[in-house]
Every structure is written in C-alpha cells, then in structure tokens.
Structure 1
Amino acid sequence: DFNAVLHREEMRGLNTLRNASLSSETIEFRNFLTNMDLIDLPVLGRKFTWVHPNGISMSRIDRVLVSNDWLSFVVNPALWVLPCTVSDHCPLVVRSNVVDWGPRPFRFNNYWLENKDFTKVVENYWMNNNLTGWMAYVLKEKLKGLKATIKTWHRYTYGVLDDKILKLISEINVLDIKGELTGLSEDEMGSRKQLFSEMWHLKRSKESSIVQRSRARWLKESDANSSFFHACVKSRRNLNSILALQTEQG
C-alpha cells in the first residue's frame, strides 16, 4: 500500500515537512510501477482523489494501475473520479467507452504482397470485369468491386489470424505428442512440416500488419516484439481519444 503520489503536481496544500517525507516514497512507488510494468490510468472529472476535512490539503493518492495485457482487452478505458461523500477519499470508476466509428475503412495490408495468389486475384478481377461509362465512373466502380473481392479473398485465405494461428499450433502439438509416444510416419512428418510453414507464414503476416498499423518504422520486422507493437497501437489510440471536455462551468 503506497500512500504516495507520483508527481508533485498531484498534491496541494500539504506542508513542507510532509512534502519532504514523500520524496523517498515517491521514488519507491515509481520503481514499483517500472518493475511491474504497470500503467497509471489518467483521471477524469477531478484532479485529486483525497481531500482533507479542512478543504485545503488534497492529493491524488488513489489510482488504478493496469497492465498492457489488460489494455489489449479493454476498449478506450476512462478512469473517472466521482464526488466524495462520507469518506475523504473519492470513489473511482473505470468505464470502457465503446465508440461506433461506422463501417471499418478498407486498409491495404502489406503482407498480401507476400502471397503469390494476391496478384492473380487482382489481375483476374480487373481483366474480367468490363464496365461502360465515363472513365472516372468506371474506375470508381471497378475499385469498389475490387475492394469487395479482396475482402472476400482475405477472409478465405487468412480468416482471423489469431484463431488460425492457435488452430495450427494445436494441430502441431498433437503431432508432437504422438511423435514423443510412438513416432511419426513420413506422411505425418510431411503434414507437420506443412502446418509449421503455414503457422510461420501467418505469424509473419500478423507481425507485418502490427508493424504497419503501429507505424513503428524504427524497428525491423525481423526483430518484431508483438507485445511492444500492441502497446504502441493501444497507446496511440488512447492518446488520440477525446474522452471528455472541460468548460468554464467544469
């Protein structure tokens, strides 16, 4: 239980002696967050979470700490400070703000270019769909149809990447256990090799997609760290989110 703040700006009206005694606790608290790889959710609604009965001294000593794994499952988390009632500590509540952004925009995935069938899909659609009309209209309609074709091909070829990767890992594991117990036949060894190749290809595709979307261009794909990339994507989304506005009336 750290009865400490993380920054000087998180306290007001506390006497000089009290401020000095907090410095070592603050350093220890910061080290704890770093060692445990925890993230301090910023507060909304109010700046401080504890208020002395005199109404002068106040600080933010109540907080919510989360991990990157938790952030990957929660959409746009917002930590709100509620009004104090019988206690001198304000209650906190975490809300997940699910935002409806409308239809998902079409995004080109770089890893499609690594699939030898992708070019054939594009060429076959473009050559076999002839439209009449003015050139801008024809181009617009063909691009619209091509987008739908690519989406269908993507779902059939890749599906949900995480689900397909887990399925392949499970199938490889079954063969590995059988190999430990009774050994594998030549057909089973060939099957395992094929499954591993598909799994490796999908994992590379996933890493490429994460790199592309997180814009972490200063890291090479060969050194990809998925946890880091997910954190980059999540952090960028949280920074770009507007969860509340403050007016002159509060």
Structure 2
Amino acid sequence: MEECLLKNDLHEIGYIGPKFTWYNNKVGSARILERLDRCFVNTMALNSPFKLIERHLDRIASDHCPILLQFKNFNTNPRKMIKFENCWACYQASYGIVRKEWDKNYQGSFSEVLNKKFQRTLKSLFFWSKAKHKELNNLKEVLIQEITEIQCKETSIGSLPEQEQWNLKTKVMELNATMARLNMWWKQRAKVKWLSEGDGNSKFFHTYASARRNANKIIKIKDEDGMVIEDQSLIEEVFIRFFQKKWEARRSNLEGWPTNYNSLNSCERNMLEADLSMNEIEEVVQHLEGNISPGNDGINHTFIKVYWEFIKDDFCKAIKFFFSYGELDKAWKETLIVLIPKITNPIIP
C-alpha cells in the first residue's frame, strides 16, 4: 500500500472529527472500532491556494463515517505584514538601501529608534523589490526561453558571433542566480534544515512547503466557554482573550521558601552585573540560525546577521537599554525574547 501511494503521488492530510471511521455495531468484547476510511490527495491539491479540510462526519445510515473534503479560502484578512525575504540579501543593491535608511535620524528611546528603522528599511526593501525585479518564477521561464532560442540559433548556423556567445553566458549565469534565489525562497517557507541546497527546486521540496502551510492553519478552537469556533475572524479574538486572562489570577507567593545557604561571591556577582559588551552580543548574533520565522516586525535572524555592520550600534544600544531600564518597544519584543537567553547564558557561571 505504501509503495502504491508513493508511486501515485497520494498524500494523507489531517482530519477533524472522530478518529475511527468504522464500527461493527456490536457490544462488549466483540465491539470493534477501526479507521478503515481515509482520504488521500495528490500534489496538485496540496499546492492549491485553498486550505484542505477533511471531516469525519457522524455515522447515521451506515457503519462507516462519511468523509467530506472541503476546499476553503481563508484569505479574508486584508492586512498583509511585510516580511524580510532572505533572497533579497543576494542583491548587492539591498545593502545600499539598508545603509541609506539606517543613516536617517529618528526620535525616541533606543528600542523605539531601532524598531522605526526596522520598519522603514523593510518597507523600502519591499517596494524596491516590487519595482526592480520580476517575480522569480516568471524570470526563470523568460531566461530559459531566451537561452533556448540562442542555443537553437547556434545549432542552425553552426556558431555564434562573439557578442552572442557572451550574451548566452550572461543568460546562463543569471538563470543560475535566479534558481539559487528560488531555492532560498522555498527553503524559507518549508523550514527544512535537513535538505541540501540542490534539493530546493525538487517537486518533493515544493510539496513539503505546501503541506507545511496546510498543516499550520488553525481550523477550529474551543473558547473559554467550551464552544467550538471555526470562524477565522473569531479565532484570533479567542487567542487574545485567553492570553489577556492567563496571568490575571496568578500571584507569586514569597512565604515559606527555604533558607538560602548558598549565594554568589563578589566575583560572580560582579560578572553577572557587568554591562554587556559589543563582542558578547555580536558572538550570539553570528551563531543565530538563519531560517527562523520572523516576529510581528517582519525581521528575521537573516536580516540581523547579513546587515549587522550597519545595524550593530543601534541594536546593541537597544539591548543595553533594556537591561538597564527594563523598557522595550512592543513591536520588537519577539526578537529580543529569543535573544535574551542566548545573550545571558554565556556569562552565567
């Protein structure tokens, strides 16, 4: 069966409803429940822009559960967050854009200034990419067609003029660069770290990215009253209410703690209380993984690592300001939450 599914490009998706789809309608020790009925889809269905939902319906007129496969479009939220694309860093022009935006002056605390620069730089990179570059898949097809035409011309006449030969080499180099950027684009979405660079444009790699997108979608959730919510516009509200109330009833009890017989000596206390150095922060940044999902600001670790020479002064000032005064701009919290444990761990004795 596994070989049959593999050869016919069939994949199973997650389901909603009862786990078992068949019941032999007997009681006691003779009662049997099995999942006999399954739904499989091919790669074309996984790559569709719709969310696939498999539902196991109630058994009523049969001893089998009916299976309903729904194709739903959840793109109801008009808000679109700009996220940094790792392939932008492959263009030398992106460095000039980041440098230009980073040299501008902004008012506010160090963390506010850093966040404003992040936002402005990301917008500039986004509109630069839209204005200057074709969509990578379209560019790949155009280059392949142009290379094919030149090679056909070479075949028909026997040889090419020197200018045409250089033109062909240029097109091939541009195609290779485009394929590498496409590879990076898919790898960022698939979040796959166990595939080599050459696998990035394979059918399996693309399917993995599409399947991951399909699996990460939240179809339904129970609210605080136990009601099942499937309306996508209400699911976000359920999450917000949950985390707003999560810590309201929790208080720290400082009574009854055992006596502390062990304490840090003066040397250890001085080490912990010492200001963070630029080298400590830079060492942590350079060891961050690049293919990590961005926070609400759209900035990921790749942006920080690639453009570190431009942003390091403002970045380190915001880090030190937080440790000194405990203040942080809201939009930058997710980035710092990931960095703080990695920054502080190396200095803990």
Q: TM-score, normalised by structure 1?
A: 0.70
Alignment-derived partner of residue 186 in structure 2:
210
* Corresponding residue of 1:34: 6
Aligned 8 A contact 2:13 2:54 in 1: yes
Q: For 1:110, give the aligned amino acid.
A: N
Question: Which of residues 183, 193, 196 in structure 1 aligns to 2:169?
Answer: 193
Q: What's 2:56 paired with?
A: 81
1:168 Cα shift? 1.4
Contact 2:143/2:171 (8 A) holds in 1: yes
Cα shift at 1:217: 1.9
For residues 246 and 152 of structure 1, what CA distance do their matches in structure 2 show? 40
> What 5-or-longer segments of structure 2 have no aligned partner?
229-349
- What's the CA shift for 1:204? 0.1
Superposed displacement of residue 77, structure 1: 0.5
Q: 1:227 matched to which residue of 2?
A: 203
| 1:207–1:226 CA contact under 8 A, matched in 2 | no
CA contact 1:41–1:63 (8 Å) conserved in 2: no
SS in 1 for 2:68: strand
Kindly tell me: are residues 67 and 120 of structure 1, through their superposed partners in 2, closer, same or farther at Cα, counting changes over 3 Å? same
| More displaced 10-residue stretch of structure 1: 139-148 or 159-168 | 139-148
User: Would the aligned equivalents of 2:23 and 2:32 in 1 still touch at CA under 8 Å?
Assistant: yes
Structure 1 equivalent of residue 95 of structure 2: 119
Residue of structure 2 in register with 1:19 after alignment: none
- Report the alpha carbon displacement of residue 237 of structure 1 after superposing the two structures with TM: 2.8
What is the CA–CA distance in structure 2 between the aligned matches of 1:180 and 1:151, rounded to whole Å? Answer: 41
Per-residue deviation, 1:122: 1.4
The offset of 1:61, in angstroms, is 4.1
Partner of 1:147: 122
Q: Which runs of no fewer than 5 residues in structure 1 stay unpaired?
A: 1-28
**1:44/1:244 contact within 8 Å kept:** no
Structure 2 contact 46–214 (Cα < 8 Å) conserved: no
Structure 2: distance between partners of 1:97 and 1:165: 30
The residue type equivalent to 2:219 in the other structure is L
Residue of structure 2 in register with 1:94 after alignment: 69
Amino acid at match of 2:203: S
Given that 1:74 and 1:96 are in contact with CA atoms closer than 8 Å, whether structure 2 keeps it comes out as: no
Match of 1:6 in 2: none
Shift in Å, 1:110: 3.0
Deviates more, 1:85-94 or 1:172-181: 85-94
Q: Structure 1 residue 149: deviation in Å?
A: 0.8
Question: Do the aligned partners of residues 180 and 89 (structure 1) sit closer, same or farther apart at CA in structure 2, a change above 3 Å counting?
Answer: farther
Q: Is the 8 A contact 2:9 2:42 kept in 1?
A: yes
Q: Which residue of 1 aligns with 2:149?
A: 174
Q: Are residues 156 and 58 of structure 1, via their aligned partners in 2, closer, same or farther at CA, if it must alter by over 3 Å?
A: same
State the shift of 1:40 in Å.
Answer: 2.1
Q: Which of residues 105, 108, 111 in structure 2 aligns to 1:134?
A: 108
Deviations 1:57-77 (A, max 9, x none): 765444332223431124321
**Residue identity matched to 1:30:** E
Question: Deviations along 1:61-99, whole A, 9 cap, x unmatched?
Answer: 443322234311243211223456766665433212332
Cα 1:51–1:192 change in 2 (3 A) is same
Structure 1 residues 197, 50: CA separation in 2 closer, same or farther (over 3 Å shift)?
same
Shift of 1:119: 0.9
Contact 1:78 1:94 in 2 (8 A): yes
- Aligned partners of 2:65 and 2:115: how far apart in 1? 56
- Identity of paired residues, percent? 26
Tell me the distance in 2 between the aligned counterparts of 1:142 and 1:134: 12
SS of alignment partner, residue 231 of structure 1? helix
Structure 1 distance, partners of 2:92, 2:49, is 36
Aligned twin of 2:45: 70
2 CA distance for matches of 1:51 and 1:219? 42
State the aligned residue count. 220
**What's the counterpart of residue 242 of structure 1?**
218
The answer to whether 1:45 aligns with 2:17 is yes
Q: Residue 171 of structure 1: CA displacement?
A: 1.8
CA RMSD of aligned residues (A): 3.4
Helix, strand or coil at the partner of 1:212: helix
- Tell me if the contact between 1:82 and 1:91 (Cα under 8 Å) persists in the aligned partners: yes
What SS does the aligned partner of 1:78 have? strand
Residue 163 of structure 1: how far off its partner (Å): 1.4
Cα displacement string for residues 93-125 of structure 1 (whole angstroms, at most 9, x for unaligned residues): 321233245533333333333322221121133
Matching residue's letter, 1:208: M
